[in-house]
């Protein structure tokens, strides 16, 4: 009797800062993990996005002698700007010179929002709010699919970039003398070794703004934990902005009973942001079930990939 060969999948969470890939069997047991750079095509373009996706998968495989039946990738900004190029991205991944030597299976590219939602629930209907480098809120109910915010760096309210921009402005005002110095400002000045306003701007604009501005949110979190009122207020405001996005999606979908609201992204680690967010959402939606997944979004991709394989087995 021929032994049934164990099936494996590769699941990828492609974000604005980094790309994480894992190799899993159909029981969800992880046997490999790889990390590479950003794969958000809005930030780095499709070619570099594909390169980083493939690199993360190759690192996760790490010469393991396994056959992958499916590679499922969740990509940031896909739903907003690249939906009509999904097939092109899938083909570029499958045909990539580094991958085609070790992978002959199927490639499926989906939105990072779908992946994030599935990391926290098995439900088909509900809402997800992502707040990392960028932010977005999206929900599904019946045939309705609603998305708000997440329109790029200038419209990612409540994100690390949004918080970082607030920190940049607060620091510049203090350096100018338009505001009083604070712990937050002192920490930024010390971290960047700022001499004056001109030096500050040189250090900001000579770097990649999509990297240096979000980094300010880390400094702000430390300042908030140190009791700095301006930093605390920034995070509280960020929580309100994210809640506004969530409440807008909920209202448009017409949820009026118990439903899941999944929160994904590093910004929700801020206690001030999270408390502010929950308060605003619960005020308008008392029946909501707020879920902060223990595992990262990539495990949502694992669930989706395993589900697709199992569905294929049932049909065969």
Domain extent listing, the chain: 8-117+297-315, 123-156+236-291, 160-234
- Indicate the pairing of strand 126-131 with strand 259-264: parallel
With a cut of 90, say whether residue 283 has pLDDT above it.
yes
| Model confidence pTM above 0.85 | yes
Task: List the structure tokens of 300.
Answer: 């949502």
- C-alpha dist (Å) from residue 143 to 125, 140, 146, 248: 10, 7, 10, 17
Lowest mean pLDDT among 70-74, 85-89, 135-139: 85-89
The pLDDT assigned to 57 comes to 95
pLDDT of residue 313: 53
> pLDDT per residue over 180-198, tens digit each?
999 999 999 999 999 999 9
Domain 8-117+297-315, CATH number (from 3.30.420.40, 3.40.50.2300, 1.10.1040.10, 3.40.50.1000):
3.30.420.40
Taking a C-beta distance cutoff of 8 angstroms, is the pair 194, 168 a contact? no
8-117+297-315 and 123-156+236-291: same fold? yes
Residues 236-258 pLDDT 10s? 999 999 999 999 999 999 998 89
In CATH terms, 123-156+236-291 corresponds, of 3.50.50.60, 3.20.20.70, 3.20.20.100, 3.30.420.40, to: 3.30.420.40
| CA 18 – CA 39 distance, rounded (Å) | 7
Q: Tell me the CATH class for 160-234.
A: alpha beta
Sequence-ordered alpha helix ranges (H) in the chain: 41-61, 86-94, 112-118, 160-176, 183-192, 197-205, 209-225, 229-253, 271-284, 298-315
DSSP string of 87-120, one letter each residue: HHHHHHHHT-TTTTTT--SEEEEEEHHHHHHHTT
């Amino acid at each position: 009797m021929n032994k049934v060969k164990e099936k494996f999948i590769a699941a990828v969470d492609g974000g604005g800062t980094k790309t994480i890939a894992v190799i899993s069997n159909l029981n969800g047991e992880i046997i490999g993990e790889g990390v590479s750079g950003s794969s958000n095509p809005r930030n780095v373009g499709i070619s570099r996005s594909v390169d980083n996706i493939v690199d993360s998968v190759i690192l996760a495989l790490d010469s393991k002698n396994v056959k992958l039946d499916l590679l499922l990738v969740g990509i940031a900004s896909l739903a907003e700007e690249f939906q009509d190029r999904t097939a092109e991205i899938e083909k570029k991944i499958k045909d990539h010179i580094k991958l085609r030597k070790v992978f002959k299976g199927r490639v499926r590219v989906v939105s990072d929002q779908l992946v994030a939602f599935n990391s926290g629930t098995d439900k088909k209907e509900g809402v997800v709010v992502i707040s990392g480098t960028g932010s977005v809120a999206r929900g599904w109910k019946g045939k309705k699919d609603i998305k708000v915010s997440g329109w790029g760096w200038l419209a990612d309210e409540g994100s690390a970039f949004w918080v970082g921009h607030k920190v940049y402005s607060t620091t510049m005002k203090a350096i100018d003398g338009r505001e009083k110095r604070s712990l937050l400002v002192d920490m930024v000045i010390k971290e960047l070794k700022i001499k004056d306003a001109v030096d500050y701007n040189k250090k900001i604009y000579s770097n990649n703004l999509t990297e240096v501005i979000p980094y300010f949110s880390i400094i702000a979190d430390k300042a908030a934990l140190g009791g700095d009122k301006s930093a605390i207020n920034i995070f509280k405001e960020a929580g309100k902005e994210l809640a506004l996005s969530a409440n807008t999606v909920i209202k448009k979908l017409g949820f009026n009973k118990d439903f899941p609201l999944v929160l994904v992204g590093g910004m929700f680690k801020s206690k001030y942001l999270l408390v502010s967010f929950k308060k605003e959402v619960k005020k308008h939606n008392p029946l909501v079930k707020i879920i902060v997944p223990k595992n990262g979004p990539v495990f949502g991709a694992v669930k989706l990939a395993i589900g697709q394989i199992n569905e294929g087995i049932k049909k065969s």
